[in-house]
């Protein structure tokens, strides 16, 4: 008799060192592929840092004030720091149709649905990765997405700006996009806690991804 797989959730209460997070994810990816471990959603914050994706352009690193980590995820430069909810998703895509494009679309929809709980309208933009919102007569990015897949198991994931120090983005060009800025729930006047954001993410999960196959 086969054991029903479940999606496990793990939440960290203190910032997690980036190198430790990557080592943890790589070990979990191997355990999912080799031992059939359950999928995992890992919610955390990082200390202030920048990461460079596989498409990062060195000229977009303008004046880095924090450590810069090279990473195998897709995308360009981004910032992580306190006040930002990072959601790393380690998931076996072979059991979900082996559709990477569909998975990224689902991550976007997950953010959009969670933001609706706070009456924030997040939107996709053609040719621009991430989730965007109306801000100060223009638009700005509120969530970044960057994933990596190894043997059809995902890792890395997304980051939603709840209340980070937005001046920390000044050290690089976020995702290589110079025309638009970044924002946060707090800057939009939405005063919610990290726990409330986490609950919104958990409530919206099954409607997007369904139960683990």
- Domain assignment of residue 130, yes or no: yes
pLDDT for 3:
45
Give the residue among 55, 107, 60 at the shortest CA–CA distance from 86.
107
Which CATH number belongs to the domain containing residue 185 in this structure? 3.30.930.10
Specify burial of residue 91 (Cβ count, 10 A radius: 0-12, 13-18, 19+): buried
Q: For 147-183, how does the pLDDT look when each residue is reduced to its tens digit (9 = 90+)?
A: 999 999 999 999 999 999 999 999 988 777 777 889 9
Q: Which of 120, 175, 182, 185 is catalytic?
A: 175
87 located within any domain:
yes
Query: DSSP 3-state assignment of 190?
Result: coil
Q: How far apart are the first and last CA of the chain?
A: 15
Q: Does residue 84 lie in a domain region?
A: yes
- 2 located within any domain: no
Tally of structural domains, the chain: 1
CA-CA-CA-CA dihedral for 199, 200, 201, 206, to nearest 10: 100
If DSSP codes are grouped into helix, strand and coil, which group holds residue 192?
A: coil
pLDDT at 115: 98
Is there a domain that residue 161 lies in? yes
Active site residue 8: no
Domain that holds residue 42: 7-208
pLDDT for the residue numbered 159: 97
Domain membership of residue 213 (yes or no) is no
Average predicted confidence (pLDDT) for the chain? 92
Instruction: Report the Cα 191 to chain-centroid distance in Å.
Output: 20
Q: What is the dihedral of CA 125, 117, 91, 184, to 10 degrees?
A: 60
Which residues of the chain are under the pLDDT cut of 50?
Answer: 1-4
Contacts within 8 Å (CB) and 24+ apart, 132-136:
132/180, 133/183, 133/188, 135/181, 135/183, 135/187, 135/188
Residue 1 covered by a domain: no
């Amino acid at each position: 008799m086969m054991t029903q797989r479940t999606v496990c959730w793990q939440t960290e209460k203190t910032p997690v060192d980036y190198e430790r997070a990557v080592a943890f994810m790589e070990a979990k990816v191997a355990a999912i592929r080799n031992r059939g471990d359950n999928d995992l959603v890992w919610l955390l914050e990082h200390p202030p840092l920048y990461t460079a994706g596989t498409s990062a352009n060195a000229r977009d690193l303008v004046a880095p004030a924090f450590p810069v980590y090279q990473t195998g995820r897709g995308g360009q430069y981004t910032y992580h720091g306190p006040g930002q909810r990072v959601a790393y998703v380690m998931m076996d895509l072979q059991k979900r149709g082996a559709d990477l494009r569909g998975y990224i679309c689902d991550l976007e929809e997950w953010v959009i649905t969670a933001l609706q709980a706070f009456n924030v309208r997040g939107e996709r933009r053609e040719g621009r990765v991430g989730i965007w919102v109306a801000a100060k007569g223009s638009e700005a990015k509120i969530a970044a997405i960057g994933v990596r897949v190894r043997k059809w198991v995902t890792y890395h994931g997304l980051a939603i700006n709840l209340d980070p120090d937005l001046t920390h983005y000044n050290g690089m060009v976020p995702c290589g996009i110079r025309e638009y800025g970044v924002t946060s729930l707090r800057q939009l006047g939405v005063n919610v806690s990290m726990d409330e954001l986490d609950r919104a993410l958990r409530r919206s999960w099954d409607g997007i991804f369904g139960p683990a196959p």
